[in-house]
């Protein structure tokens, strides 16, 4: 556990050194300011646009961190051979990978919740305090979805090159929003093809579960049951992805 925390801390510190969070907060602040500037031409929809675009920016910032940092996390250390220094200490490969994921998830979470605080402040000023709850719920769900993508990024980073890892992670991010459509399509497809497609749709991460953006636009949140189920799903998916990454990484020969 200590080893995991040590790796996570160093990953988090490295992200801070790379000024990832500064860039993220600057981007978030610009988007929030822009959404307020757009408000006067929105004909009464200014507050809604502020919250909607703010949440979208929040989601995109999380994805950007996962893709830009996460996909080269392990590969970079293998290339620089610094991984040998880490693994020569009492740190197992599994602890190393889980620590890397935890550090990446913490970086993403700090960015998302920092921006959530900004968005909640702006949202309160335009829609009143009742919007804070839905915004926090939606941000929490965004963080859960990004934690899954971070686990997948770590999995791909430990197996492949950064370019391919970016492609795979973004591919799963896109298909993650199409799982329900894939199931509908599978139902129309006769025979084995339909069954295979249906199975694939359950293996892919269902990111629509974490999407509360359209509800927040109307000041609505999700039920506790939905939140608990989504959290459980995220936890199970992260565990599965990291387990797969550990199995693959244990067998990998590091030159």
Partner 1 sequence: MSRGTAADRAANAARRKALLVFLVAAVAIGVQLAAVQLRLPAREPLGELAYYPSGTWLRQSALGEATAWADLLWLRAVQYYGEHRMVDNEFKQMAHVFEVITTLDPRFQSAYVFGGTSLCQEGRQFEAGVRLLEKAVEHNPRAWIYPFELGFVHYVGTGGNRDLTRATFEFAQAARQPEAPEFCSRFAAWSGQKAGHEGVAFELWRQVAETTDNAYMRDKAIEYLRRLVKGTGQERNLEIWAKSLRPLEGGVPEEGDAGEDDAPVEEEDPEAPRGQRVSGLPARGPTS
Residues that bind partner 1 (CB under 8 A): 38-46, 48-49, 52-53, 55-56, 59, 173-174, 177-178, 181, 207-208, 211, 213-214, 217-218
Rounded to the nearest whole angstrom, what is the least distance from the CB of residue 239 to partner 1 in the complex? 23
Beta carbon nearer to partner 1, 58 or 105 = 58
Q: Which is nearer to partner 1, 69 or 207 (CB)?
A: 207
* Nearer to partner 1 among residue 56 and residue 94 (C-beta): 56
Residue 147 dihedral angles phi and psi, to the nearest 5°? -65, -40
Q: Name residues whose C-beta falls within 8 Å of residue 167's C-beta, 6 or more positions apart in sequence.
A: none
> Would you state the torsion angle of the CA atoms of residues 62, 226, 206, 148, taken in this order, to the nearest 10 degrees?
40
Helix and strand numbers, DSSP H then E, in the chain: 12, 0
Cβ closest to partner 1, residue 46 vs residue 99: 46
Shortest distance, position 176 Cβ to partner 1, whole Å: 8
Nearer to partner 1, 40 or 191 (CB): 40
Q: Cβ of residue 194: shortest distance to partner 1, in angstroms?
A: 20
**CB proximity list for 175: less than 8 A, separation 6 or greater:** 182, 204
The candidate with the shortest Cα–Cα distance to 115, out of 31, 209, 213, is 31
What gap in Å lies between CA 190 and CA 142, rounded to an integer? 35
Look up residue 210 and give its DSSP letter.
G
Query: How far apart, in Å, are the Cα atoms of 157 and each of 16, 46, 122, 173, 219?
Result: 20, 41, 37, 15, 38
59 versus 162: smaller Cβ distance to partner 1: 59
Min separation Cβ 28 and partner 1, Å = 15
Task: Output the CA angle 212-217-218, nearest 5 degrees.
Answer: 105
Least separation in angstroms between residue 111's CB and partner 1 is 18
CB of 54 to partner 1, least distance (A): 9
């Amino acid at each position: 556990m200590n080893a995991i925390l040590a790796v996570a801390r160093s990953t988090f510190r490295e992200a801070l050194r790379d000024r990832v969070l500064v860039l993220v907060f600057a981007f978030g602040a610009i988007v929030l300011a822009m959404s307020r500037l757009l408000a006067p031409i929105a004909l009464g929809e200014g507050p809604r646009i502020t919250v909607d675009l703010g949440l979208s920016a929040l989601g995109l910032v999380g994805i950007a961190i996962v893709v830009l940092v996460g996909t080269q996390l392990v590969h970079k250390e293998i290339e620089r051979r610094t991984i040998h220094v880490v693994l020569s200490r009492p740190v197992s490969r599994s602890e190393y990978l889980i620590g890397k994921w935890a550090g990446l998830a913490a970086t993403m979470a700090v960015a998302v919740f920092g921006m959530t605080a900004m968005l909640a402040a702006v949202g309160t000023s335009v829609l009143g305090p009742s919007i804070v709850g839905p915004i926090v719920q939606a941000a929490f769900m965004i963080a859960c979805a990004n934690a899954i993508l971070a686990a997948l990024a770590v999995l791909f980073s430990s197996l492949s090159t950064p370019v391919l890892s970016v492609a795979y992670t973004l591919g799963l991010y896109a298909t993650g929003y199409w799982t329900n459509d894939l199931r509908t399509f599978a139902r129309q497809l006769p025979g084995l093809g339909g069954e295979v497609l249906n199975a694939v749709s359950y293996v892919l991460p269902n990111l629509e579960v974490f999407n509360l953006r359209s509800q927040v636009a109307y000041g609505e949140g999700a039920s506790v049951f939905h939140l608990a189920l989504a959290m459980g799903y995220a936890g199970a998916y992260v565990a599965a992805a990291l387990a797969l990454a550990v199995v693959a990484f244990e067998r990998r020969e590091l030159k």
